[in-house]
Amino acid sequence: MLLYKKSLAYLLSLLFELLGFLSSCKHLDRPVFIEALEDCCVDEGSDLKLCGVVTGSQPIKVSWLHNGEVARFGNPSFNGREANFVVRECLPEDAGAYTCLAENSAGKTSCCAAVFVKDFETMYGVPSPVSKIPTSASKSIMKNGKPSQSQKDELQKLRGSTCASPTDSDKQSPVSSPREVIPKKRANSGTGPALHFENHPPQIEVKVGEAARLTCVFTASPPVVSCWIRNKEQIVDGPELWAENTDQSSTLVIAEAKPQHTGRYTVVVKDRKSSAQHTLTLSVVESPEPPASCPVVSLVSASSLVLSWSGPCYDGGSAVLGYVVEVKSQGPAEPGDWRELTAQCKSTSYSVCSGLQPQGEYCFRVKAFNTVGVSEPGPVSAVVKMEQKASHKPEEEGPHAYSTVTIDSSHKVTDHYNMLEKLGMGKFGLVFKLTHKETGRVCAGKFYKGRRAKEREAARKEIELMNYLHHSKLVQCLGAYDHKPEMVMVMEFIAGGELFERIVDDNFEHTEPASVRYMQQIVEGISFMHQQNIIHLDLKPENIVCVDTTGTSVKIIDFGLASRLDSNTPLKVMHGTPEFVAPEVISYEPVCLATDMWSIGVICYILVTAMQRPWPWSQPPSGSLMRRALMRSQMRPKISSVPCLTRTAGGGCAVKRHSHTLGWQHLTLEIMPPPPRPCQRIR
């Protein structure tokens, strides 16, 4: 009886536990997606993330399917509420239908989403030989990240074959093998080579009419897509130009190169890991255009002349290397054909020294050439007639009879000379034109302001120094008068005017050979002064005057600031024209013979470059301003040498260079190449 009671109690306890378990099962909630997965579209190589929110009684088990099979290439996560699935660096085979399965003790449910992957061909609009998975999802492009209606219909079929409805989840298996999608095995992108370009020349040059091939070789991980861009626009294949692409190179082919094809081309290459670009410059070259102007003739003699012209407006895409000069006889008796004077002229001026006859009539034309070929002839010059053989002689200075001048204190200048019009004025006083009463010789009279003893002493100093300056390139003193309160120095009259006025005159033909001639004479005159240990200290174009209005003979004038150097007493000055003074004048340091060479260098710069002043300002800076600027920068302008140009027979320039720290005995001669494109006429 006791055993019976114990057995009955045990059965009752089991019954109560079973009833409690059944009661608890009635209160479990099956999983439900309160936020479903969303369809999405991603670019190849970017990351994919799917997210859904699930509620239900815990614990809930979450699993993912891709096209009906277990998803192998992704990172799933579930925090009890949010289910996430992330695929890094999507490939085209990652497209398709993704299913999220949620299951607990009360039941199971699922949710589906369609994923589109834009491949490289779709992104760049170029074909590729690499085959893709033939799924509708990988072939389609969504607008604004959403599928079109036809895509929705296809994905609905895909969902129907891969996703089980929540109501039928207890009756059938949720996994069904699709017939259309066979996922590819993911390649290991970390083992391929990094995308980079091989070494290529930055510039390619082809002739007009030839085929141009712009090839870039690179190393990348297939599949690779590439495209060419010019002016921020993608180049589309056509009959004139097209691209030839492989997994190792990309070539842009231009069937027939034309000048308009010149420019910069950029190739953009992208593989599964990265992208890169490389830019090439294409130059389509041709023969240059003819010279822009006809040759201008100057310095005509019996058997020689100088030609000057303008270069071509377009050099054909390649630098002009030189010019071909041709001549044609225009005589009425025997009109000749064009014949070549030179084929190696390197500048836009040429001195013809042979092949011309006195009294002959000739015309000239010029061709330009570059690496491609020779241009058509330029405009023909006007007919020029050579001078008679005896009508012109080289400019030579005849013998001069120099005399030492003493100051005459017993006569007035008007006792011996007639005063005519005023020629000019300056800080020292006035200059008048004079004629000798007996000989009729025309002279110039420099009237000093002599009211102060200092002014009279400066006038006496200039007159005394000029007794040491007996040279054909230096203006000569012919007499001096001291009649208080004024002093007068009589000088030779030079009628050609200032050199500066000739440079800026549009009606005067100023050429490089003329500049050479001017510089030679200036250097000759200053060289003689330095041999006497005298420095000018005020060299500028206004103090260089022309002997006549047509020739190139010049003389140096105005020795009011000139001084004789004493080796025992350093000379410091604070005067001169700011644009032309040397740095030691500005910084108030001892001057030397080389101080004049700085000014000569500035004059040479003006002659060669046609600049009126070597300053960027409308007005030259004052000496104090220049001095403060030098002190503030704690720098002193340095000059290694000052050039003096002379033309050589081959078109080059013989440059005399004078060191700033050396004397005349260190003057050297150096052959320099001609400038690449000198102007036709210096103004």
39 annotated ligand-binding residue: no
Tokens of 439: 């000989």
Dist. CA 100–CA 95, nearest whole Å: 15
Query: Counting runs of H as helices and runs of E as strands, what totals does the chain give?
Result: 10, 38
Residue 107 backbone dihedrals phi, psi, to 5 degrees = 155, -165
For residues 324-350, one letter each, b for 16 or more C-beta atoms within 10 angstroms of the residue's C-beta and e for the rest, the string is bbbbbbeeeeeeeeeeebbeebbbbbb
Q: Which of 538, 548, 566, 596 is catalytic?
A: 538
Q: Is 60 helix (H, G, I), strand (E, B) or coil?
A: coil
Nearest to 428 by CA among 530, 562, 533: 562
Q: Is 17 helix (H, G, I), strand (E, B) or coil?
A: helix
Measured at the alpha carbon of residue 302, what is the angle toward residues 300 and 307, in degrees to the nearest 5?
30
Nearest to 40 by CA among 96, 79, 82, 84: 96
Residue 441 backbone dihedrals phi, psi, to 5 degrees = -65, 135
Side-chain-side CA neighbours of 62 within 13 Å: the count stands at: 24
558 annotated ligand-binding residue: yes
The residue behind tokens 């500048």 is 347
**Three-state SS sequence of 276-343:** EEEEEEEEEECCCCCECCCCEEECCCCCCEEEECCCECCCCCCCCCEEEEEEEECCCCCCCCCEEEEE
Nearest to 326 by CA among 289, 374, 370: 374
Tokens of 179: 């017939």
Q: Is the peptide bond before 332 cis (omega within 30 degrees of 0)?
A: no
Dist. CA 413–CA 390, nearest whole Å: 41
Crossing angle of helices 594-609 and 512-531, rounded to 10°: 170
- 320 Cβ partners below 8 Å, 6+ apart? 288, 311, 312, 368, 369, 370, 677
Q: Please tell me what DSSP assigns to residue 472.
A: T
* In contact, 539 and 596? CB cutoff 8 Å: yes
What pairs with residue 298 in β-bridges?
306
Q: Please tell me what DSSP assigns to residue 569.
A: B
Dist. CA 320–CA 307, nearest whole Å: 18
- In the chain, the largest separation of any two C-alpha atoms, in whole Å, equals 182
> Annotated catalytic, 538?
yes
346 annotated ligand-binding residue: no
**Three-state SS sequence of 197-254:** ECCCCCEEEEECCCCEEEEEEEECCCCCEEEEEECCEECCCCCCEEEEECCCEEEEEE
Residue 414 backbone dihedrals phi, psi, to 5 degrees = -75, -10
Dist. CA 94–CA 187, nearest whole Å: 12
Dist. CA 109–CA 104, nearest whole Å: 9
Measured at the alpha carbon of residue 495, what is the angle toward residues 493 and 497, in degrees to the nearest 5?
120
Task: Provide the annotated binding site.
Answer: 446, 543, 558
Q: Please give the annotated binding residues for ATP, written as ranges.
A: 446
The residues annotated as belonging to the active site are: 538
Annotated binding site for Mg(2+): 543, 558
